[in-house]
Amino acid sequence: MAVSVNNIAAAFCTVPVSSSSSSSSLNPKTLAVSVSPQPHISVSWNLHTSLPRSRRSSFINIYGGPGPAPLQAIPRFNCNRHQIREKPTRSMSISIGDKLPNAKVSYLDRKNRLRSVPISAIAKGKKIVVLGASVPFAPKCSQFIERAEETKSKNVDIVACVAMSDVFVMRAWGEHLRLSLGDKLMMLSDGHGELSRALGLSVDFSKSSDGASLGLGNRSRRYCLVALNGVLRSVRGGRF
């Protein structure tokens, strides 16, 4: 703003002034106004400066060019993508050939009865795909879980979607996804993060500015693992 004011002052730095009100016939005198030189301001941040002269606003000739760039850019967060800028870590405490932990997960059965069982018991004698998600209903996580339909042709017995949320949210999310997996799909609640911690895939998103603004706290990272009879055969994870 100060630069614009100085530019206006410079435009009127030479003004005709008569010596007195009664001597209008005399030649007008010139009043010189000195303007302190301003430091050079780079305006490369403003795309307007890259336009050809014919397309520039005529106000630039009057008020001067744009002022300096903001001292600090305003952080932006895309709520449609829900991207949490959390650096991925490789702190997984489970690897190929290990048995699934005995961490308990919960779900609601068809009669709305609460069930709490170890994930190892669910995987016993079966081929199971476990999909870990951070935020139920978030677009990125929903797209991740929707890829579970690709397992239909891979002789998978159970597809278990796990998140650190309550059993009611998990069931509602499963109904919202409308996956054509039938009884193969299990929406499991890892409410206290027991499974996520056992796998080494829990993270505190409240330490991230974006996570704090969304009200996120301790959550699970996004991961995918395949187990046969409770023994890990494939694992990918460590990222949101």
Per DSSP, the three-state class of 119 is: helix
Element spanning 107, H or E? strand 104-108
Task: Pull the structure tokens for residue 111.
Answer: 């009669």
* Of residues 170, 175, 240, 155, the one with CA closest to residue 203: 240
CA 64 to centroid of chain Cα atoms? 38
Give the count of alpha carbons within 13 A of 68, CB side only: 9
Beta bridge partners of 222: 239
* One-letter-per-residue 3-state SS of 103-151: CEEEEECCCCCEEEEEHHHHHCCCEEEEEEECCCCCHHHHHHHHHHHHH
Residue among 130, 111, 134 at smallest CA distance from 217? 134
Q: In whole angstroms, give the CA distance from residue 131 to residue 190.
A: 12
Known catalytic residues?
A: 141
Distance CA 92, CA 39 (A): 54
Angle at Cα 148 formed by Cα 92 and Cα 139, nearest 5°? 80
Return the half-sphere exposure (C-beta side, CA atoms, 13 A cut-off) of residue 149. 8
